[in-house]
């Protein structure tokens, strides 16, 4: 469940639960997610360590721990990939089929599960060095955003997925932000007018902020049956109340009417990924 808003909501929920908890032992069930960190090294460093903080950078989770008898903090990088989840599970519950890493915290277990194993749980912090500004912080500056777009011949939609431009957008919120800004996804980045770039800059922030506030109002109850996976994205469960389907304006709505103008939403493929857009609200010819 992973773009910036989902990670942000997860971090807020998880942080108070982990604060001060001690790692008795850990189990690595799929070493691929360690991204090169030897399991033995992770075990040596984490055993007996205590969680002191959890924060987010882009779509990454940054865990901070204090190792036993060592003053310098230990940092761990987590990433949910496409299908990763992290939650506390009562110690007596059975582990999910795709549990990749399990930390024994005593009463309960911290579980990192990931069906497709694209996620990460590692001591290697280097991916953080390549990240652009946080969209909801003052580091995300309109003038720099505009200048960066001017340097690119790539279509704006795939450009928004480039985490060096700005972090946090994935395939869903990139379409959502362009729709909100009224900008065509196929427009070459350097061809955006100053007004379009400004609307897009504002739309990125608004879309992410709204998604966070929506997610924060919903209980992230991972305990129990795990029927809550579809929390953020797929609101079409037959029993879902209406507001579940109101969150996304264009994503995954191909062939259905635009909520603004009634035109049929279209789907196209750019750089191998689906883009959804309204041909009227996001005409390539409007400014």
Partner DNA sequence: CACCATGTTCCTTG
Partner DNA sequence: CCAAGGAACATGGT
Among 133, 158, 182, 215, binds DNA (CB under 7 A): 158
CA–CA separation, 177 and 160 (whole Å) = 9
Q: How far is the CB of 257 from DNA (least distance, A)?
A: 19
d(CA 24, CA 176): 43
Q: How far is CA 162 from the centre of its chain?
A: 14
50 vs 210 by CB, closer to DNA: 210
State in angstroms the smallest separation of the CB of 151 from DNA: 6
283 lies in the site for DNA, by CB under 7 A: no
Per CB under 7 A, does 214 bind DNA?
Answer: no
Contact between 130 and DNA by CB under 7 A: the answer reads yes
Q: Greatest CA separation found in the chain?
A: 64
**From the CB of 272, what's the least distance to DNA, in Å?**
5
CA distances from 35 to 32, 42, 78, 104, 127 (A): 6, 11, 11, 21, 11
Nearer to DNA, 2 or 108 (CB): 2
Q: Is 256 in the site for DNA (CB under 7 A)?
A: no
Element (H, E) at 102: strand 99-104
Residue with smaller CB distance to DNA, 21 or 249: 249
Cα–Cα dist 53/4, whole Å = 18
Q: Distance from first CA to last CA of the chain, Å, rounded?
A: 34
> Is residue 161 a contact point for DNA (CB under 7 A)?
yes
Stretch binding DNA (CB under 7 A), from 66-74, 104-112, 170-178, 206-214? 170-178
CB of residue 106 to DNA, shortest distance in Å:
29
Instruction: Mark 60-99 with x for binding to DNA (rule: CB under 7 A) and - for no binding.
Output: -------------------x-xxx-------------xx-
Cα of 5 vs its chain's centroid, Å = 6
CA angle 241, 245, 247 (to 5 degrees): 120
Residues identified as active-site? 2-3, 59, 273
Residues that bind DNA (CB under 7 A): 1-3, 6, 32, 58-59, 79, 81-83, 97-98, 115-118, 127, 130, 151-155, 158-159, 161, 163, 170-172, 189, 229-230, 232-234, 270-274
């Amino acid at each position: 469940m992973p773009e910036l808003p989902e990670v942000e909501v997860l971090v807020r929920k998880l942080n108070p639960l982990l604060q001060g908890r001690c790692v008795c032992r850990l189990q690595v069930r799929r070493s691929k997610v360690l991204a090169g960190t030897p399991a033995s090294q992770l075990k040596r460093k984490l055993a007996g360590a205590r969680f002191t903080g959890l924060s987010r950078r882009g779509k990454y989770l940054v865990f901070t721990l204090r190792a036993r008898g060592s003053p310098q903090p230990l940092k761990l990088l987590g990433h949910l990939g496409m299908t990763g989840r992290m939650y506390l599970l009562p110690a007596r519950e059975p582990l999910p089929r795709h549990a990749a890493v399990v930390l024994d915290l005593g009463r309960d277990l911290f579980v990192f599960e990931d069906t497709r194993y694209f996620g990460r749980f590692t001591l290697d912090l280097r991916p953080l060095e390549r990240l652009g500004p946080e969209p909801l912080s003052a580091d995300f500056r309109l003038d720099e955003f505009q200048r960066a777009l001017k340097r690119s011949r790539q279509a704006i939609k795939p450009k928004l997925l480039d985490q060096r431009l700005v972090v946090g957008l994935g395939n869903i919120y990139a379409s959502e932000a362009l729709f909100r800004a009224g900008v065509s996804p196929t427009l070459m980045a350097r061809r955006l007018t100053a007004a379009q770039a400004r609307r897009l800059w504002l739309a990125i922030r608004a879309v992410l902020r709204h998604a966070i506030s929506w997610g924060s109002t919903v209980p992230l109850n991972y305990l129990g049956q795990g029927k809550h996976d579809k929390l953020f994205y797929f609101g079409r469960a037959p029993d879902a109340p209406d507001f579940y389907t109101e969150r996304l304006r264009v994503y995954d709505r191909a062939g259905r009417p635009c909520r603004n103008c009634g035109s049929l939403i279209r789907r196209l493929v750019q750089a191998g990924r689906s883009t959804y857009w309204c041909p009227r609200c996001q005409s390539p010819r409007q400014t």
